């Protein structure tokens, strides 16, 4: 029995020594695996940036392509304006979880702010963009405080009432000149006049800046706080997230982006009238675009904005049918793709990336030189 006990102890000590020898190897393997996963995710991030830059590069080359005329640049600029306005709705609906049917009001605020400055003080387009965006953000901040306790259908009804209120103001207050409207001169950037192609590049630049703003917002602490409030408001508040501050900030940013779209929309047609901006269908179009495209995806507003803006263009002789098709598209998306078209189109790409990460996790993919240097330093400590 003693011999058996001694043999057992020797066996146990041998296993312990073997485990102790293997422990550093296992730790190094796990570290390499983590670094390989980090490398793969960094490559995916780089691919996202390359794809986005390539998209904007192609868009920048569009007006100089053979056969492209001024009216085509004008039409695409209108589509970009719709996409920017949809980005504003997506900030509130997709990342904060608040349904809004009132962003046509912010579009009107941006357009009228810039139009009045241009008419009375002869300001140029950049000044109008800054003023229109800030005025819309200020009104959005006030609206966020007023609607602080609303959500769901009540929020939708409240924002719809705001859109009606703005429409009534611009239709009846003499300052805004009602249906007679405000005619604007040719657009200027600083001291240079711009035509359709020049305006296209201004709209594209604003779109690039708003896309960068939304991208940075979503990946910042503010974006994570907004999504936490969207997913579990009570739990987020219990973790110290200030609901009043973040919801008001979301309203302000959302209104700012849509206000920029309003300035561009007013200046591209060079005429602002209540007959256009008191129309509640702007608000409905932006919400439909956000839902159809996918309000919680960066590329969702692009897909939804293109769909909503170009559908009446292709159905020019059947414009009333466009409203029916928008409703049908909204119903189908809510039934079969609640996350929007961006989620559907991105499914194969995300599946490929998941498989790639799984192979890295299982097989131990190659680690980059920088990661190996980092691992060597860790092992040397």
Closest of 97, 98, 85, 1 to residue 263, by C-alpha: 85
pLDDT higher than threshold 80 for residue 105: yes
Q: What is the pLDDT of residues 77-98, one digit of tens each?
A: 999 999 999 999 999 988 888 8
| Mean pLDDT of the chain, nearest integer | 83
More confident residue, 331 or 322: 331
Tokens 């604003």 — which residue?
206
Tokens of 291: 């839902």
* Spatial contact of 353 and 44, defined as CB atoms under 8 Å apart: yes
What's residue 232's pLDDT? 85
In order of 149, 343, 352, the CA distances from 212 in angstroms are 30, 20, 25
Q: Is the pLDDT of residue 312 over 80?
A: no
What pLDDT is attached to residue 379? 44
- Tell me the CATH architecture of domain 68-345: Orthogonal Bundle (1.10)
Residue 376 pLDDT exceeds 50: no
Residue bearing tokens 């035509």: 195
Q: What is the pLDDT of residue 13?
A: 52
- Asked if residue 371 has pLDDT above 60, the reply is no
What average pLDDT does the segment 114-130 reach? 93
Q: What angle do CA 134, 138, 144 make, to 5 degrees?
A: 135
* pLDDT for res 208: 95
Q: Please state the rounded mean pLDDT for residues 259-277.
A: 92
Q: Report which of residues 23 and 120 the model is more confident about.
A: 120
Q: What percent of the chain has pLDDT over 70?
A: 84
User: Quick one: 236 exposed, middle or buried, by C-beta within 10 A (0-12, 13-18, 19+)?
Assistant: buried
Helices (H), the chain: 2-61, 70-93, 103-121, 125-146, 152-172, 196-218, 221-231, 233-238, 243-269, 274-277, 281-293, 300-314, 319-336, 341-345, 347-363, 369-380
Task: Quote the pLDDT of residue 18.
Answer: 47
Structure tokens at 274: 């209540």
Give dist(CA 162, CA 137) in Å, integer: 14
Query: What's this model's pTM, rounded to 2 decimal places?
Result: 0.85
Query: Among all chains, which residue has been given the structure tokens 């119903």?
Result: 331
Q: Is 280 exposed, middle or buried (0-12, 13-18, 19+ CB in 10 A)?
A: middle
The predicted structure's pLDDT at residue 240: 87
- List the domain boundaries for the chain: 68-345, 346-381
Q: pLDDT digits over 190-240, tens only?
A: 888 898 899 999 999 999 999 999 999 988 999 999 999 888 888 888 888
Segment 140-162, tens digit of pLDDT: 999 988 887 777 788 888 889 99
pLDDT at residue 276 tops 90: no
């Amino acid at each position: 029995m003693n011999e058996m006990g001694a043999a057992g102890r020797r066996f146990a000590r041998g296993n312990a020594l073997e485990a102790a020898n293997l422990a550093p190897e296992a730790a190094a393997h796990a570290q390499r695996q983590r670094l390989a996963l980090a490398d793969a995710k960094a490559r995916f991030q780089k691919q996202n940036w390359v794809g986005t830059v390539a998209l904007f590069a192609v868009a920048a080359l569009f007006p100089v392509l053979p056969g492209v005329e001024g009216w085509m640049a004008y039409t695409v600029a209108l589509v970009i304006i719709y996409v920017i306005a949809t980005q504003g709705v997506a900030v509130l609906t997709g990342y904060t979880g608040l349904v809004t049917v009132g962003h046509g009001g912010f579009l009107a605020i941006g357009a009228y702010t810039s139009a009045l400055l241009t008419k009375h003080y002869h300001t140029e387009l950049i000044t109008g963009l800054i003023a229109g965006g800030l005025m819309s953000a200020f009104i959005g901040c006030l609206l966020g405080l007023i609607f602080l306790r609303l959500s769901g259908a009540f929020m939708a009804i409240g924002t719809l009432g705001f859109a009606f209120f703005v429409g009534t103001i611009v239709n009846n207050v003499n300052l805004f000149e009602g249906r007679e409207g405000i005619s604007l001169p040719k657009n200027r950037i600083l001291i240079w006049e711009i035509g359709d192609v020049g305006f296209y590049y201004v709209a594209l630049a604003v779109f690039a800046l708003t896309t960068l703003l939304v991208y940075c917002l979503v990946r910042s602490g503010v974006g994570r706080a907004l999504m936490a409030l969207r997913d579990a408001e009570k739990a987020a508040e219990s973790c110290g997230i200030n609901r009043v501050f973040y919801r008001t900030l979301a309203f302000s940013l959302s209104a700012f982006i849509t206000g920029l779209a309003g300035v561009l929309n007013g200046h591209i047609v060079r005429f602002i009238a209540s007959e256009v901006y008191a129309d509640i269908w702007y608000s409905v179009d932006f919400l439909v675009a956000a839902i159809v495209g996918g309000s919680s995806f960066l590329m969702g507003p692009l897909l939804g904005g293109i769909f909503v803006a170009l559908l009446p263009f292709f159905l020019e002789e059947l414009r009333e049918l466009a409203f029916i098709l928008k409703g049908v598209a909204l119903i189908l998306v809510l039934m079969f793709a609640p996350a929007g078209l961006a989620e559907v189109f991105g499914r194969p790409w995300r599946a490929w990336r998941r498989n790639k990460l799984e192979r890295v996790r299982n097989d131990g993919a190659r680690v980059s030189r920088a990661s190996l240097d980092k691992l060597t330093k860790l092992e040397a400590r």
